[in-house]
Amino acid sequence: MQAEARLRYYKGSPQKVRLVADVVRGQGVARALAMLKLTHKRCARDIEKLVRSAVANLEQKMPGVDAGKLVLTSIQVNQAPSLKRFRAASMGRVFPRLHKFCHVTVQVAEREK
């Protein structure tokens, strides 16, 4: 049995969030949470909260599940729509600014025997 948690429209570049996601993909939940706690990236704290939410969702589905046997089966980071704004520049020009967002999906399941 598996459970998932989603973080939608996260204010952060998908490229930067994928750097953190690649570190914990396939790890056990306890090890992944420890690694996220020591990672010095802005998105690490939010991914840590997302992993905890996925574990809570699985415990809601299957009461009495052993948290020590859980593993991150999948963590996906997809691009969300960007917010486009313009900054005024000299000589009547404008420079575009893109505020990037991403969707993060975490799946947690029991470790296969």
Among 3.40.50.1010, 3.30.360.10, 3.40.50.1580, 3.90.470.10, name the CATH number for the domain at 2-110: 3.90.470.10
pLDDT digits (tens, 9 = 90+) for 61-110: 988 888 889 999 999 999 999 999 999 999 999 999 999 999 999 999 99
User: Are the C-beta atoms of 5 and 109 separated by less than 8 Å?
Assistant: no
- The type of residue at 36 is L
Q: Read off the pLDDT of each residue in 42-53 and give the average, rounded to a whole number.
A: 96
Beta bridge partners of 101: 11
Percent of the chain exceeding pLDDT 90 equals 88
E runs forming strands in 1-113? 2-11, 70-79, 83-88, 94-99, 101-110
